[in-house]
Amino acid sequence: MAIMRLGRAELKVMDLEKSVDYYTNVIGLEETGRSEGRVYMKAWDEYDHHSIVLQEADSPGLDHLAFKVEKLEDLAQFEKKVELFGCTVRRVSSGARLAEGQAIRIETPTGHQVELYHEIERLGKKVGSVNPHPWPLETRGIAPHALDHCLLTGEDVETATRFFMEALGFKQSEKIMTVDGEVMLGSFLFTGNKAHDIAFVKGPDKKLHHAAFHVDNFYEVLKAADILSRNEVQIEVTPTRHGITRGQTIYFFDPSGNRNEAFCGGYMTYADFPTITWTEDRIGQGIFYHRRELIESFMKALT
């Protein structure tokens, strides 16, 4: 029984066609299908049908995140573990969304909706799977490899962390604690070998901080900045490095106000990875290693 990876994020957007244009031509995703009120998209290096779903809505934010499990039978076992932890869970029938099989939908301790699934149509990678070239000739925009991670906010980071670790089998790579060590303010969780697949920072329940896309290297982060400026996209944080995860990054906003990130680097994790601790007095350096201080919008602009 195992959760393999982050599989998708369904983002709420207010102008569907404007958002499709942005995620196609600025981010560089490929549209793979449509159903009523939704557009399905994937990055060029992803093989499943979609990793991003854009849902037309009255306000921005996150409808749900979904993680792919190793076997279909795992859903029933995770369903029991979630119920034992005390979170609500319900079944999602096959075909509820385009190209997807059955799933379970969980309400986490922070009020976010998280799905677990196994079945999804495979479209393959743009470079193919037989004698593939390292990248496709035709790309648009930032052209990330894949959806990388999401950061959410919640009032009780510690309980959210316990839920993901105890009920879903995640490990914790890093945490942010008050100086006295009494309160957890941030938590970075992984289920494979990345520095994080999902993270939480203390803040209002049910909110999305950002959805991140993986790019190759710091040059690609710099190139992303050029593409964003050329397209007059609002950039919040110009290219820099994180202390937490060691990743390199740029933050910016989609047309509805959902924060995006182009992310590269970071270390590899393993099942026995020792948790790294940051203290609240060094949180500025942890998040923006060069600047060493937070900017006001970074914790206030949530959807």
Active site residues: 149, 196, 210, 242, 251, 261
Q: Where are the alpha helices (DSSP H) in the chain?
A: 16-22, 74-85, 157-162, 218-230, 283-287, 296-300
Contact 301, 236 (CB under 8 A): yes
| Phi-psi map region of 238: left, alpha, beta (phi>0 left; psi -120 to 50 alpha) | beta
10 Å Cβ neighbour count for 88? 10
10 Å Cβ neighbour count for 246? 13
Contacts of 292 (CB under 8 A, 6+ apart): 284, 285
Contacts of 79 (CB under 8 A, 6+ apart): 89, 104
CA 34 to each of CA 39, 50, 259: distance values in angstroms, whole numbers, following the listed order? 5, 11, 23
| Phi-psi map region of 22: left, alpha, beta (phi>0 left; psi -120 to 50 alpha) | alpha
For residue 100, give the DSSP letter.
B
